[in-house]
Homo-oligomer: A and B are copies of this chain.
């Protein structure tokens, strides 16, 4: 049971999205905020960090640099989600759901995700390929998958 965590999808995803401001930026881009200064204002990200994160996100193909032009101004860049970026919405919904349950103010959640077509609130459901719906985290077990790599012998001590 000694599996190397180096190629874990969770770790890798966190490597891309896990830095302090990245998901906050994505949240706001999902909310339609696409311009540098607006992002600074909304997210509260320091300029330097925003520059940095945006360029990483563009490099990784999560955002794409587009351009817009307000009449009477020069063209400026604007940042939009790619497919890869749009697909992070499940992560954001999962974070919001957990937050609503455990850290929201008594007045209720400050942000809702709604279904565009019917206006009903959106939630995540955990389900297995057999169609069973899962409500208890204890019903889920983690297992090394096909891409798992045994860790080098050296580390195989200390684990009881």
- List residues of chain A with CB under 8 Å of any chain B CB: 3, 5, 7-14, 16-20, 23-24, 27-28, 30-31, 37-38, 41-44, 84, 86-105, 107-118, 120-130, 132, 134, 137-149, 155, 158-160
Tallying the copies of this chain within the complex gives 2
Contact between chains at B146 and A134 (CB < 8 Å)? no
Given contacts A24-B11, A95-B9, A147-B105, contact A125 B127 (CB under 8 A): yes
Contacts of A11 in B (CB 8 A): 24, 27
Contact between chains at B109 and A140 (CB < 8 Å)? no
Contact between chains at A42 and B5 (CB < 8 Å)? yes
* A124 in complex: contacting residue of B94, B108, B110, CB < 8 Å: B94
Contact between chains at B158 and A110 (CB < 8 Å)? no
Contacts of A99 in B (CB 8 A): 8-10, 12-13
Contact between chains at A140 and B41 (CB < 8 Å)? no
Apart from A9-B97, A11-B24: 17 A-B pairs, beta carbons within 8 A? A8-B99, A9-B95, A9-B100, A9-B110, A10-B24, A12-B103, A13-B96, A14-B20, A14-B24, A14-B95, A16-B103, A89-B126, A112-B143, A114-B140, A115-B128, A120-B128, A121-B128
Contacts of A23 in B (CB 8 A): 10, 14, 18
